[in-house]
Amino acid sequence: MPLFNKLKEKLSSFKKSAEDTIDEKAVEVEEQNTQPAETSEPEPVKTEPSKTSNNLEQETGSKSGTGFGQKAKAFVFKREFVLDEDDIQDTLWDLEMGLLENDIALSVSEAIVESVKNELVGTRRRIGSDTGKIVEDALKKSLYNIMSANTFDFDEYLKNAEKPVHIVFVGVNGTGKTTTIAKMANLLQNDNYSTVIAAGDTFRAGAIDQIESHANKINTKLIKHQEMGDPAAVVYDAVQYAKSRSIDVVLSDTAGRMHTNVNLMSQLEKVCRVSSPDLIIFVDEAVAGNDAVERAQQFNDNIPIDGSILTKADADSKGGAAISIAYITGKPILYLGIGQGYEDLKKFDPQWFVDQLFE
Ligand SMILES: Nc1nc2c(ncn2[C@@H]2O[C@H](COP(=O)(O)OP(=O)(O)OP(=O)(O)O)[C@@H](O)[C@H]2O)c(=O)[nH]1
């Protein structure tokens, strides 16, 4: 499924423009050079794979417009050059603007640009290197480093953890939290874990019925109390139920709330205090972009989260929240919601994410 198309286009246009800039610089260096080839053997350098001399001919010919002869091209091939900051200042600026347009938070965009700059500037390049690959590798490396903050293997954790493992899901209203809990229970059951869901959203009218309907469809036990009841009590009962019946995982829903709602936030703190969950997972929608990032940060400040799940990634062309949240909270993204079906939950792997941005 194609994800984050707008961001992909932006990265591809940055790649093209950085590639052109580097190639122009290479031609410029060559043009300044008047010494014969035999006096200019390059020192050994660690460089990227070189293009074939045919590629190089096309490139140098088209960029310089000078139509080098065969001898001159061989000569260019043996040369090296170093890119300095001025050469790619404008291109990096465009990259930063492009990242911001795609809802990547300012501090994260700056970190990515800084890292790309460090990769590109100051390293000796052999003229004729595959500049497209150089730029793509620099981008991939920076994005990967940003996204792989504190990775945490959820499967491995579950396998080794003492049971029942208790997971509390937090986040604002309507972002897909309830559906995500059902998807998660379904996934765990498919992996042969037994599950129980706690209907901890006692606040929103209809929330208990909604989660009950999911629980029935995926055939998992639901523990519920009355609407407006104490969510901490529901969650406590669910954990006791799991302990008494050797259930592997308790998945607790909580009422959606704005991070600014002090009462609901302290109620959530109480739920977490009373039930001491093993994991607190923040759920938000990828399409919310910077708003989701801000909420993740503020939830994390109040109730330290262990990771995030981003829903509706299938509808998100920008990818900003996915890139920013792990970096800003310092906690990994665990899954992406990629549709409305129970099977539409994809384990998040930073390498997969970065690779598919360049497919
Ligand atoms: N396209 C798409 N839709 C999703 C995804 N996850 C959830 N939804 C839809 O988003 C809508 C809201 O989901 P809910 O699970 O009801 O939201 P919620 O966060 O539980 O809402 P509250 O109970 O108010 O907190 C539903 O129509 C879901 O089908 C996803 O990954 N992709």
Residue 276's alpha-carbon distances to 166, 167, 214, 258, in angstroms, are 8, 9, 25, 22
Domain locations along the chain: 8-147, 154-353
The per-residue pLDDT for range 313-343, each reduced to its tens digit, is: 999 889 899 899 999 999 999 999 999 999 9
Residue 295 · residue 262 · CB < 8 Å: no
Cβ(256) to ligand 1 under 6 A?
A: yes
The per-residue pLDDT for range 99-115, each reduced to its tens digit, is: 999 999 999 999 999 99
Q: The whole model's pTM is what?
A: 0.84
The per-residue pLDDT for range 237-270, each reduced to its tens digit, is: 999 999 999 999 999 999 887 766 777 788 888 8
d(C-alpha 299, C-alpha 226), whole Å: 26
Is pLDDT at 56 greater than 50 in this prediction?
no
Cβ(175) to ligand 1 under 6 A?
A: yes
d(C-alpha 30, C-alpha 73), whole Å: 9
**Residue 169: per-residue pLDDT:** 96
Cβ(102) to ligand 1 under 6 A?
A: no
The per-residue pLDDT for range 273-282, each reduced to its tens digit, is: 888 899 999 9
Sign of CA dihedral 184, 189, 195, 196: positive
| Continuous segment of H or E residues that includes residue 169 | strand 165-170
Phi and psi at 308, nearest 5°, equal -130, 155
d(C-alpha 167, C-alpha 244), whole Å: 17
pLDDT interval class at 20 (50, 70, 90): confident
Q: How far is the CA of 16 from the centre of ligand 1 (A)?
A: 38
The per-residue pLDDT for range 75-91, each reduced to its tens digit, is: 444 567 777 888 888 88
Question: Could you tell me which residues are annotated as the binding site for GTP?
Answer: 171-178, 253-257, 311-314
The residue contributing the CA closest to ligand 1 atom 14 is 176
Cβ(200) to ligand 1 under 6 A?
A: no
Is pLDDT at 67 greater than 50 in this prediction?
no
Please identify, by atom number, the ligand 1 atom nearest to the C-alpha of residue 201.
23
Checking ipTM against 0.85, whether it exceeds it is: yes
Residue 91 · residue 139 · CB < 8 Å: no
| Tokens found for residue 51 | 């293009």
Cβ(52) to ligand 1 under 6 A?
A: no
CA 158 from chain centre, in angstroms, equals 22
| Tokens found for residue 268 | 């959530």
Mean pLDDT of the chain: 84
Phi and psi at 208, nearest 5°, equal -65, -45
Look up the CATH superfamily of 154-353: P-loop containing nucleotide triphosphate hydrolases (3.40.50.300)
Q: How far is the CA of 121 from the centre of ligand 1 (A)?
A: 44
| Tokens found for residue 99 | 């990242």
Q: How far is the CA of 179 from the centre of ligand 1 (A)?
A: 5
Side-chain half-sphere CA neighbours of 234 within 13 A: 27
CATH 1.20.120.140, applies to 8-147: yes
Cβ(61) to ligand 1 under 6 A?
A: no
Sign of CA dihedral 339, 344, 350, 355: negative
